[in-house]
Structure 1
Amino acid sequence: MKLDKTVLALAVTVVLWASAFPAIRVALGGYGPTELSLFRLAVATAVLVAVLPWMKVRLPARRDLPRVLAVGATGMSAYQLLLNWGETHVPAGTAALIMATVPAISALLAAAFLGERLGPAKVVGSLFALAGTVVIAMAGGETGYTLAAWTVLAAAVAQAVYHFAIKPLLRRYSGFEVATYAMVAGTTLLLPFAPVTARAVLAAPADATLAALYLGILPSAAGFVVWGYAVARLTVTAATAALYLVPVTALVVAYVWLGEKPRLVELLGGLATLAGVALLNRRPRSLVTEGDRSAEEVSGVPSVRGTAGPPRG
């Protein structure tokens, strides 16, 4: 029964994070990228703060506040702004395929700044993943689409920086605590946009507001909690493999919900990206150490030598 609950939690996480991409497209029908970013983060923060008494979350130490602010700025504020702006032109499923490059970018950051060694397979995997993204970005042919696709890739970079930057925090705090700190920091940084966001809430159509509320409550807040439950009870291999389903599921949800049909060249680029990430994540079972396992249990993201992160929406 425990396995059934764990698999269910993993499936719920995949669906929640995949559905975020089309939900963003719906919410953008009534909100600009900036207003949606603040609204979503504020809702998610309110939900996380509401459960703090049950999650035993500690206040961060004063010395960690600059890093908390930095991870909130990258993984929350910048990520939301860039992804939302990108999805004004890029279809939801295509955005999910681009975001699948996060593990490859994380691996390159770890090699550049932490001195982690990338073997031939990981180098080839990273190049494949990035090449697939380039194919997707150039597939539109129009300037608006291409610029928006690069903006989604910039969101992937922001998310990769987040996973890279939280590593010192995860030595002292739980994954839920770090996610909460980052969410609060990211929301705070966007508060100057509160007046325009409030006006947008009053003027937006109901479907856009419901989509924005959905994004904050489920993919952003509940997604972290459910994912943490699942990954703490699964092996590295099982958890990582499930995340490959996020962009695939996003394509299906976007087709059912929005009627989006990706072009063949986008699918080919997406396949190259996923193949590259799969090669990047491939490692012998002997390398799945207890240290990797512990890092996953506190961070809520699977690690490839501690570098990968989920393509959440």
Structure 2
Amino acid sequence: MKKERSFHVYAIITIICWSLAFVLSRLVMQELSSEALGFLRYLIASLVLICLIPLLKLRKVESKDLGLIVLTGATGFFLYMIAFNKGVKEVNAATSSVIVATVPMITALLSRFVYKEKITTKQWIATGVSFLGVMIITIVNKGFTISNGLNWLFLAAILLAAYNLLQKKLVQKYSAIQSTMMSIFAGTIMLAIFLPRTINEVQGISMQIIILVLIMGIFSSAIAYVSWTKAFEVAENVASVSNYMYVTPLLTTVLGLVIAKEFPEVSTIVGGIIILAGLILFNSDQLFSKKVRIKRIGNAELATAAQVIRESFATVANDFDLTLDNCPTNGAFTQAKHLKIDLDKGQQLFGVYLGKKMIGFFELVYHDGYQATLEKVAVVPSERGNQYGEFILDKARKIAAEDRIEQIDIGIIKENRRLKKWYQKNGYEIVCSKQFDHLPFEVLYLQLDLKDEVTNE
């Protein structure tokens, strides 16, 4: 199996494990409280993850990040687990999975207010559609009241969305798997406040419940999160993995019927379909967009690549009054012959393709030792705002790490504050600035440390 296709297996494993959690939680809580289940589930998960530590290359945790780690542990595992279990205990598995499926949408909405990320008109309409589905589930057969279980599930969804936002900051410095592990460990420590209660409750529980708790701790928690992280790591497109989330409500409903003999109410089926329709509409640009891929280019693509670079850098040239006379080396004036020289030197040139069209470019220049320079990072203006720039930085990081490069450097115009903040947001740190006689601006150098990502051969 090709590596880039293996994400399907990882994603499917994760979705099965998570769908099981909705069903098994209701069965386990016939003998255990929601608090005891939460603690046992993540105690087991933590023990499994601890066993994996020798197999991973982890970065030393900085003391200044402990507060953020505690927050992710609290929102994503401590408070979330309590709210999730209390909600699932009172609401059938199918309904629970539909409510939790709104997390990606809630995350995007929160990002609008926290990170000022853009929400399109279509996405606002999609939000209204999903809200209609929620209203159908909560009102039909219940009147104009929301059950206590649904309240807990809505809270769980909001907490998980908050966790997603906090994790965005954490993964800028640590790998996705390390960030998740640290959050789980922090959450487990907090859940330990229920240890005395758990000790009392586990006395005399049936062997069946013990087995189910082990399954949830090992598979629905530890393996699920590792597998999900691995899926994103090997996939070329984030949407290819996240789209599997839409399978969760359907799979949970089937597992609920088979394992727990739970039949969803008509309101759950109708409301669930409407909610999922809203979610699909909300993410339709990603769901139905052409596949983005990166490939190393050769002589045949140099002319196209030069055009992409010129289009991308033209905006910077205009903003800072750069011309062919005062800054001939700027990307706005790149020609195929310039790229040909780089190619003949053995430098790595990469094209970013949307379908068959090249919409971006970057170049990796390896130096003596374990250092590389990232050059000519470009995305055509018409495709900006779609996170292709982040896609480029992530791919460049992975390529460099695989080649045992320990740091990536990049130089930008010091006065370009927006670009500086963007690189910092993606893990780069300022090193120094320098003025060159042949350039009409001061160069700011930033660096990305990859030492902790480089694995031993």
TM-score (norm 1): 0.89
Looking at structure 1, the residues matched to 165 and 198 of structure 2 have their Cα atoms a distance apart, in angstroms, of 30
The one-letter code matched in structure 1 to 2:247 is: L
The one-letter code matched in structure 2 to 1:121 is: K
1:49 aligned residue: 50
Q: Is the 8 A contact 1:75 1:162 kept in 2?
A: yes
The one-letter code matched in structure 1 to 2:62 is: A
User: In the TM superposition, what whole-angstrom CA distance separates every residue of 1:152-191 from its partner, at most 9, and x where no partner exists?
Assistant: 1110111000001111111000111111111111111121
Q: Is the 8 A contact 1:74 1:161 kept in 2?
A: yes
1:188-199 mapped onto 2 (5 Å cutoff): 188-199=189-200
1:281 aligned residue: 283
Q: Is the 8 A contact 1:48 1:221 kept in 2?
A: yes
The one-letter code matched in structure 2 to 1:111 is: R
CA shift in 2, pair 1:196/1:296, >3 Å: farther
User: In the TM superposition, what whole-angstrom CA distance separates every residue of 1:15-66 from its partner, at most 9, and x where no partner exists?
Assistant: 1111110011111121101101111111111111111111122342110111
**Secondary structure of the corresponding residue to residue 228 of structure 1:** helix
Using the TM superposition, give the Cα deviation of residue 134 of structure 1 relative to its aligned residue in structure 2, in angstroms.
2.9
The one-letter code matched in structure 2 to 1:117 is: K
Q: Is the 8 A contact 1:131 1:272 kept in 2?
A: yes
2:187 aligned residue: 186
CA shift in 2, pair 1:232/1:294, >3 Å: farther
**Comparing 4-13 and 25-34, the one that deviates more:** 4-13
Among 255, 262, 276, the residue aligned to 1:260: 262
Q: Is the 8 A contact 2:138 2:145 kept in 1?
A: no
The higher-RCO structure (CA 8 Å, 6+ apart) is 1
Looking at structure 1, the residues matched to 395 and 250 of structure 2 have their Cα atoms a distance apart, in angstroms, of 23
1:250 aligned residue: 252
Confirm or deny that 1:31 pairs with 2:130: no
What's the Cα RMSD here?
2.3
Q: Unaligned regions of 5+ residues in structure 2, if any?
A: 291-382, 398-457
Using the TM superposition, give the Cα deviation of residue 294 of structure 1 relative to its aligned residue in structure 2, in angstroms.
6.3
The one-letter code matched in structure 1 to 2:91 is: V
**Secondary structure of the corresponding residue to residue 56 of structure 1:** coil
Looking at structure 1, the residues matched to 142 and 206 of structure 2 have their Cα atoms a distance apart, in angstroms, of 32
Q: Which has the larger radius of gyration?
A: 2
Looking at structure 2, the residues matched to 40 and 227 of structure 1 have their Cα atoms a distance apart, in angstroms, of 18
CA shift in 2, pair 1:230/1:213, >3 Å: same
Aligned length: 298
Confirm or deny that 1:104 pairs with 2:105: yes
Confirm or deny that 1:150 pairs with 2:151: yes
**Secondary structure of the corresponding residue to residue 190 of structure 1:** helix
Among 390, 393, 417, the residue aligned to 1:291: 390
Using the TM superposition, give the Cα deviation of residue 264 of structure 1 relative to its aligned residue in structure 2, in angstroms.
1.3
Q: Unaligned regions of 5+ residues in structure 1, if any?
A: 299-313
Looking at structure 2, the residues matched to 5 and 183 of structure 1 have their Cα atoms a distance apart, in angstroms, of 25
Q: Is the 8 A contact 2:87 2:153 kept in 1?
A: yes
**Comparing 174-183 and 58-67, the one that deviates more:** 58-67
1:58-207 mapped onto 2 (5 Å cutoff): 58-139=59-140, 141=142, 146-207=147-208
User: In the TM superposition, what whole-angstrom CA distance separates every residue of 1:76-119 from its partner, at most 9, and x where no partner exists?
Assistant: 01111001011111001110011011011111110111111111
Using the TM superposition, give the Cα deviation of residue 198 of structure 1 relative to its aligned residue in structure 2, in angstroms.
1.7
Using the TM superposition, give the Cα deviation of residue 144 of structure 1 relative to its aligned residue in structure 2, in angstroms.
9.9
**Comparing 4-13 and 81-90, the one that deviates more:** 4-13
Looking at structure 1, the residues matched to 135 and 180 of structure 2 have their Cα atoms a distance apart, in angstroms, of 30
The alignment-based identity, stated in percent, is 26
User: In the TM superposition, what whole-angstrom CA distance separates every residue of 1:206-262 from its partner, at most 9, and x where no partner exists?
Assistant: 222221111111011001111222222322332122221011111111110011111
2:311 aligned residue: none
User: In the TM superposition, what whole-angstrom CA distance separates every residue of 1:113-146 from its partner, at most 9, and x where no partner exists?
Assistant: 1111111011112222233223223345289971
2:273 aligned residue: 271
Looking at structure 1, the residues matched to 91 and 118 of structure 2 have their Cα atoms a distance apart, in angstroms, of 34
2:361 aligned residue: none
TM-score (norm 2): 0.62
Using the TM superposition, give the Cα deviation of residue 295 of structure 1 relative to its aligned residue in structure 2, in angstroms.
6.5
Structure with higher strand content: 2
Q: Is the 8 A contact 2:74 2:190 kept in 1?
A: yes
